[in-house]
Amino acid sequence: MSILVDKNTRLLVQGITGREGTFHTNQMIAFGTNVVGGVVPGKGGQSFEGERGKLPIFDTVRAAAEATGANASIIFVPAKFAPEAMYEAADAGLPLVVCLTEHIPVLEMISVRAYLDQRQTRLIGPNCPGLITPGEAKVGIIPSSIVTPGTVGLVSRSGTLTYEVVFALTQRGIGQSTCVGIGGDPIKGMDFIDVLRLFEADPNTSEVIMIGEIGGNAEEQAARYIADHMTKRVTSFIAGLTAPPGRRMGHAGAIVEGKSGTAEGKIAALEAAGVQVAKNPDHIVEMIA
């Protein structure tokens, strides 16, 4: 069992004919993901020539979903068009949308998030690596070669740290149930609590790794949720302990304002909730092992 994506995922790729869309569609298919079609306005009726045969291309997400029975979409389109792509996926009734696109304006994402919430569409991203369930499905750009099936769930704001920790787990023979990169933008879809709730309910996830970073208060909110609701062990790492005050570090949401959002505050909140907090990413695997 897994969360969010599995063998039953029927995936549409919005922007399938672009350079990134083409490359990663083939990577997802090679992993075993059931990609059922693509969406490119103006190219409906054409076919995507993938490494394992042809896939139909549609002008709209609604037409694609009706024809293929899709239940998820991944978005590979520029920031200028990404909000409309998310609106369209929600209007088509897709329960899960993954948006990898960077540099979407915050004000636009506020409107997108509110719109998708009204339609009960789960959004992962934007500005994220997506997610992967080893042995079942990959929706995003997390490298297939670093994962192995198992029972440790992982949720992270950082794509790079996701890769580093997952690879280290695999090297130690510790498998993963599902790895979810939620992204580091200030306004996004699913947050730590949303994913932790799913891991807590998943009978085949035995424990969880949570990778956070400076900026915002998502980790403090997650700490309260863990203390009140999680029965499974949570191990964490917070990036940015040595970041200069007031400086954004990498992600748009990774900025400390005053005393809010500091690594020290997040670590203290997590430790008070009974969470093991690693001093560096390498220590996470030692704690799990």
Do 91 and 168 fall into the same domain? no
**Residue 144 corresponds to which amino acid?**
S
Do 164 and 283 fall into the same domain? yes
Do 78 and 167 fall into the same domain? no
Rounded distance between C-alpha atoms, residue 161 and residue 212, angstroms: 9
Residue 135 burial by Cβ neighbours in a 10 Å radius (0-12, 13-18, 19+)? middle
Residues 6+ apart with CB under 8 A from 193: 221, 222, 225
Q: 91, 124, 157 — which closes off a domain?
A: 124
**Residue 56: inside a domain:** yes
Do 186 and 276 fall into the same domain? yes
Do 57 and 188 fall into the same domain? no
* pTM attached to this predicted model: 0.93
Q: Which residue of the set 24, 229, 251, 283 is catalytic? A: 251
**Residue 129: inside a domain:** no
Q: 132 φ, ψ to 5°? A: -150, 135
Do 102 and 154 fall into the same domain? no
Residue with tokens 């899960």: 96
Q: At 195, which CATH number? A: 3.40.50.261
Q: How many CA atoms lie within 13 A of 203 on its CB side?
A: 1
**Residue 32: inside a domain:** yes
pLDDT given for residue 243 in this prediction = 58
Quote the tokens at residue 35.
């990609």
Rounded distance between C-alpha atoms, residue 222 and residue 266, angstroms: 10
Cβ atoms of 214 and 249 closer than 8 Å: yes
Torsion from C-alpha of 37, 42, 46, 48, nearest 10 degrees: -50
User: Would you call 251 a catalytic residue per the annotation?
Assistant: yes
Rounded distance between C-alpha atoms, residue 22 and residue 76, angstroms: 9
Do 44 and 14 fall into the same domain? yes
Do 115 and 146 fall into the same domain? no
**Residue 133: inside a domain:** no
Do 214 and 149 fall into the same domain? yes
Q: 124 φ, ψ to 5°? A: -110, 125
Cβ atoms of 122 and 97 closer than 8 Å: yes
State which residues form the domain around 186: 142-288
Distances (CA, A) of 42 to 4, 35, 45: 30, 20, 9
Quote the tokens at residue 128.
């994220």
Please list the pLDDT of the chain residue by residue as tens digits (289 residues): 589 999 999 999 999 999 999 999 999 999 999 999 999 999 999 999 987 789 999 999 999 999 999 999 999 999 999 999 999 999 999 999 999 999 999 999 999 999 999 999 999 999 999 999 999 999 999 999 999 999 999 999 999 999 999 999 999 999 999 999 999 999 999 999 999 999 999 999 999 999 999 888 999 999 999 999 999 999 999 987 755 665 555 555 545 555 557 889 999 999 999 999 999 888 999 999 8
